[in-house]
Amino acid sequence: MAAETIDGKAYAAALRERVGALAADFEEKAGRKAGLAVVLVGDDPASAVYVGSKGKATRAANMESIEHVLPASTTQEELEALVDRLNADPAVDGILVQFPLPDHLSEPRIFTRIAPDKDVDGLNPVNSGRLMAGLHGFVPCTPLGCLMLLRDRLGNLSGKDAVVIGRSNLVGKPMAQLLLADSCTVTVAHSRTKDLADHVRRADIVVAAVGRPEMVRGDWIKPGAVVIDVGINRLPPEDGAAKGRLVGDVAFAEVSEVAGAITPVPGGVGPMTIAVLLRNALVAAYRHEGIELAEDAI
């Protein structure tokens, strides 16, 4: 029996609708819109498209999009000065600096410069520490979106065996912490893990975020497991096509024959990232103004 396809696009649309309704409520109570500032440095086409889509989604959710587009020649000092101004601006509730930055700029210096309570990307080490300690903070958008999809599919995750393939600060490490907080037994694996397939075969939950196209094969999967594919990779073009097809880190067709449920690529985890960004920005706005927001509201 083929696995159920987890529709991240539909879940993200519903989340964005909830955010929009609560953003309208926030505006009524605070007398202003929640504000999300997005900073783009340079002219990377993919980043420009992504920033544009974030701005459109922010405005559609009844929030203020504050966009700063800087030339590739921007210095570290100039970028840090902009971050400082945004940290101090009462109309800005959340700040996101689009990565990657041009090579001469230091990404760690930037994400540690963003005020933790405006760090809606969850990359400031203060927020990483809050996550580790089980305190309120902001979590990177992609792993939080993955957790939402898992809870929606499985309900209570307590006692589940989970394997996270990938150890990045953006996905793998925070994903493991979120699963631990939900009382899963968690193994963090990666491309150099010995007998990786054997680790994966024991898992009720598999989160693949390793950046290798179709690395996770069907015979790695425990029957009925839930598989979350975070990877997005473009294969070389075939048969004269202008572009190669997009695939995840999971061999979708093979794994679908064994798993209980799986996210597709595209249309699975990807749409959740912007939806959770909007969610984080709105939570930041409520906290900024000291307005109570129910834990389970979004």
Give the number of other CB atoms < 10 A from CB of residue 91. Answer: 13
> DSSP state, 226?
E
Cross-sheet strand order for the sheet of 4-5 = 4-5, 261-262, 226-229, 205-208, 161-165, 185-189
- The residue written with tokens 């001469």 in the block is 104
Catalytic residue numbers, as ranges: 54, 98, 121
Distance, CA of 201 to CA of 196 (rounded, Å)? 9
Q: Which two tokens stand for residue 227?
A: 């598989």
Q: Say if CB 98 and CB 38 are below 8 A apart.
A: yes
> Within 13 Å of residue 228, how many CA atoms lie on the same side as its CB?
33
Residue 244 in tokens = 């190669």
Q: To which H or E segment does residue 161 belong? A: strand 161-165
Helix residue ranges, H only, the chain = 8-30, 45-60, 76-88, 107-111, 125-133, 141-154, 172-181, 196-201, 252-256, 270-289
Structure tokens at 266: 């595209």
Sheet containing strand 35-41, edge to edge, reads 64-70, 35-41, 94-97
**Burial (Cβ within 10 Å: 0-12, 13-18, ≥19) of residue 201:** middle
Of 262, 200, 194, the closest CA to residue 231 belongs to 262
Q: Helix, strand, or coil here: 67?
A: strand
